Chain A
């Protein structure tokens, strides 16, 4: 199963190394990881998606991460009401005919074309993991040259409402 874990950590050199070190030493599979500063410049937030067999594994992982001196707080937010977003850049092969087709296809996803050349263009999409996956699937037939994804970043909502999995086109 996939779980979304967030960790707030001291913004010091080597912290990411400590966190990923714990995960690889204890054989946790990281699917994606994203890191950035928080509102406090001394604190960073790491969001990672891990794949585990059992929910007990997650308890062990959060405890091990919490043991790191530079880690402030670890949460498994998967079952909470969360806002989780990811950004993807997709470079596609294009020609005159496909170009406009791509434009109309990406429109409902609120994705945008951020670079165009003679025979390719780059689409930028942000949203939930499922939305990003869905768009990538739709674009695949056009010929994907390259994909770059940030991985999920997330936090919990202040008002607890379910994020409907189907509502990715918002």
Chain B
């Protein structure tokens, strides 16, 4: 006869208590056999769980939630297929340094390694795409492991942490272990920048005639947008941002040169090409930013401020490395209160580039341009508007033509470029900020990759504004084929599409179709003013290109399609 001892509880109960101890408000997940004991505890655990329609939806929603709230996203999925469906999201979060704590089910310890039903080697599979991962071997370790996981996910350079939970571990009852002292002797992120290095940077600034700041997503992670703006303002140093750094510096600010890189502005790329001092803060020199590294800031003193020492010197040889937290580094610089005024010729030169070569597009007849849609969305947005994009042309247009004036209002898949990210991450963003107007700007291709998450929007009545830049094509692929593959549109034109309005209707979601530019302003205003969720099918021109562009393999000084070429550049409809 089995006698249950009084103060024994199940691993699942220990788990949920441990999660609650981290003040988790929200879990995104999807149940299955191996995690049934956990879901049973969740049933009356008084913690909110959002059932998505696919595990990929759950993890991208958790990413969107984390980016907007600044708190770790929490995910649960079952063993085997549930867990493997998370891999894309883990890789995405790893690349974009998004804090996640992800719980996966696992077969019972006795059957691990036997190719049991729904077994997958989650530790092995996720090792390269997580900051760290754990497989729990003893339920009494759960409190410590959960605490460590949240600590690792959210400190230093944030990232995803996986905790793999064998079924028997969560099921069997054991004595609760209150002991949860962190044991992480190999993990001590450096927050405080070295003062000597800061001094070197100050001296480099004083000597510089052509400085530029490159601001990346790390500035958002360390919540340092205000400090960045103050610093740039104080010394009149112009600012370029990365894709993920959009919003770290107000787009409408005079000193803002735009996003840099493959589809950056001419002014931003010229500044990075010509500068004599490049101060990179929380950016990691992704190849979409640097383009050919041989012509990237090649006459500049390179300063790299990053909390991850491994980023420094990885891509670009660095003259002044500063390991530490962006906010602390910026505060040291501000507190140093040194004398410096940026060279006027340099600023004038960049300002004239900025005004003479703006981002551009042409408008003919009443055809609806995707750029126009984005521009109009921006026109009717405010500081409470959050924009999430998918990947492809829609993402670049959202980066270029939406003027990102506020920090923490932009959600996009940077490093991994994950199609299907837009819709679920917008859902997560809305959960993080229920009062915000959350706009999803998606391509017709990417929308269909996670379209099932409309179910979540319907269920929770999330008032998302979903704009499909519907070009009946995998636009970005089509653009590359047009430019580099002789217009051989291999598998990039979507010949057969569902009626997106009807899809929305089927989910009980309001919809609208914009066919041309005749009333586009009024229609977009109407869509944005709609109280509930709405899908807006924008029938945009198919043969559109994202410009300007640094062709692959070329340097940032070799942009094509900058404004003054508008007339002779073949961007008109074929």
Seen from chain A, the residues whose Cβ lies within 8 Å of a Cβ on chain B are: 9-10, 14, 17-18, 21, 25, 56, 59-60, 63-64, 66-73
21 A-B pairs in the complex with CB atoms less than 8 angstroms apart: A14-B123, A14-B127, A17-B124, A18-B127, A21-B127, A21-B128, A59-B313, A60-B313, A60-B314, A63-B309, A64-B310, A66-B186, A66-B309, A66-B310, A69-B131, A69-B152, A69-B184, A69-B186, A70-B186, A72-B186, A73-B186
Which residue of A has the minimal Cβ distance to B317? A56
B523 within 8 A of A: no
B558 within 8 A of A: no
Which residues of chain A are within 8 angstroms of B186 by Cβ–Cβ distance?
Answer: 9-10, 66, 68-73
Which residue of B has the minimal Cβ distance to A10? B186
- B118-132: which residues lie under 8 A (CB-CB) from chain A? 123-124, 127-128, 131-132
* A64 to B157 alpha-carbon distance, docked (Å): 13
Which residue of A has the minimal Cβ distance to B187? A69
* A21 to B127 alpha-carbon distance, docked (Å): 8
* A14 to B131 alpha-carbon distance, docked (Å): 14
Task: With A60-B313, A63-B310 as known contacts, state yes or no: A72 contacts B128, CB within 8 Å.
Answer: no
Q: Mark B177-195, 1 if CB is under 8 A from A, else 0.
A: 0000000111100000000
The 9 closest A-B pairs by CB, nearest first: A63-B310, A69-B132, A72-B186, A69-B187, A71-B186, A64-B310, A63-B309, A67-B310, A21-B127
B308 within 8 A of A: yes
* A63 to B132 alpha-carbon distance, docked (Å): 16
Which residues of chain B are within 8 angstroms of A67 by Cβ–Cβ distance?
Answer: 308, 310
Which residue of B has the minimal Cβ distance to A65? B310
Which residues of chain B are within 8 angstroms of A71 by Cβ–Cβ distance?
Answer: 186
In the complex, given contacts A10-B186, A17-B124, A72-B185, what are 12 additional A-B residue pairs having Cβ atoms less than 8 angstroms apart? A9-B186, A10-B185, A17-B127, A25-B128, A56-B313, A60-B313, A63-B310, A68-B132, A69-B184, A69-B187, A70-B186, A72-B186
Seen from chain B, the residues whose Cβ lies within 8 Å of a Cβ on chain A are: 123-124, 127-128, 131-132, 152, 184-187, 308-310, 313-314
* A64 to B310 alpha-carbon distance, docked (Å): 6
Q: How far is the CB of B97 from chain A (nearest CB, A)?
A: 12
Q: How far is the CB of B403 from chain A (nearest CB, A)?
A: 36
Q: How far is the CB of A58 from chain B (nearest CB, A)?
A: 11
Which residues of chain A are within 8 angstroms of B309 by Cβ–Cβ distance?
Answer: 63, 66
Which residues of chain B are within 8 angstroms of A64 by Cβ–Cβ distance?
Answer: 310
Q: How far is the CB of A166 from chain B (nearest CB, A)?
A: 36
Q: How far is the CB of A10 from chain B (nearest CB, A)?
A: 7
Which residue of A has the minimal Cβ distance to B308? A67
Which residues of chain A are within 8 angstroms of B124 by Cβ–Cβ distance?
Answer: 17
* A100 to B123 alpha-carbon distance, docked (Å): 53
* A73 to B185 alpha-carbon distance, docked (Å): 10
* A25 to B127 alpha-carbon distance, docked (Å): 11
Query: Which residue of B124, B152, B310 has the most chain A CB atoms within 10 A of its CB atom?
Result: B310
Q: How far is the CB of B135 from chain A (nearest CB, A)?
A: 8
Which residues of chain A are within 8 angstroms of B308 by Cβ–Cβ distance?
Answer: 67
Q: How far is the CB of B68 from chain A (nearest CB, A)?
A: 27
Q: How far is the CB of B93 from chain A (nearest CB, A)?
A: 16
Q: How far is the CB of A142 from chain B (nearest CB, A)?
A: 43
Which residues of chain B are within 8 angstroms of A14 by Cβ–Cβ distance?
Answer: 123, 127
* A72 to B187 alpha-carbon distance, docked (Å): 8
Which residue of A has the minimal Cβ distance to B128? A25
Q: How far is the CB of B510 from chain A (nearest CB, A)?
A: 46
Q: How far is the CB of B133 from chain A (nearest CB, A)?
A: 9
Which residues of chain B are within 8 angstroms of A73 by Cβ–Cβ distance?
Answer: 186
Which residue of B has the minimal Cβ distance to A8? B186
Which residues of chain A are within 8 angstroms of B310 by Cβ–Cβ distance?
Answer: 60, 63-64, 66-67
Which residue of B has the minimal Cβ distance to A67? B310
Query: Which residue of B124, B128, B185, B186 has the most chain A CB atoms within 10 A of its CB atom?
Result: B186
Q: How far is the CB of A125 from chain B (nearest CB, A)?
A: 35
Q: How far is the CB of A79 from chain B (nearest CB, A)?
A: 19
* A161 to B308 alpha-carbon distance, docked (Å): 35
Which residue of B has the minimal Cβ distance to A21? B127
* A64 to B314 alpha-carbon distance, docked (Å): 10
Which residue of A has the minimal Cβ distance to B314? A60
Which residues of chain B are within 8 angstroms of A63 by Cβ–Cβ distance?
Answer: 309-310
Which residue of A has the minimal Cβ distance to B156? A67
Q: How far is the CB of B106 from chain A (nearest CB, A)?
A: 14
Q: How far is the CB of A6 from chain B (nearest CB, A)?
A: 14
* A100 to B185 alpha-carbon distance, docked (Å): 54
Which residues of chain A are within 8 angstroms of B131 by Cβ–Cβ distance?
Answer: 69
Which residues of chain A are within 8 angstroms of B152 by Cβ–Cβ distance?
Answer: 69
* A67 to B311 alpha-carbon distance, docked (Å): 11
Q: How far is the CB of B158 from chain A (nearest CB, A)?
A: 13
* A56 to B131 alpha-carbon distance, docked (Å): 24
Which residues of chain B are within 8 angstroms of A21 by Cβ–Cβ distance?
Answer: 127-128
* A72 to B131 alpha-carbon distance, docked (Å): 15
Q: How far is the CB of A42 from chain B (nearest CB, A)?
A: 9
Which residues of chain B are within 8 angstroms of A70 by Cβ–Cβ distance?
Answer: 186
* A69 to B152 alpha-carbon distance, docked (Å): 9
* A56 to B321 alpha-carbon distance, docked (Å): 15
Q: How far is the CB of B154 from chain A (nearest CB, A)?
A: 14
Which residue of A has the minimal Cβ distance to B159? A67
Which residues of chain B are within 8 angstroms of A17 by Cβ–Cβ distance?
Answer: 124, 127
Query: Which residue of A9, A56, A69, A73 has the most chain B CB atoms within 10 A of its CB atom?
Result: A69
* A23 to B141 alpha-carbon distance, docked (Å): 30
Q: How far is the CB of B531 from chain A (nearest CB, A)?
A: 47
* A21 to B310 alpha-carbon distance, docked (Å): 16
* A56 to B185 alpha-carbon distance, docked (Å): 27
* A71 to B185 alpha-carbon distance, docked (Å): 9
* A66 to B185 alpha-carbon distance, docked (Å): 12
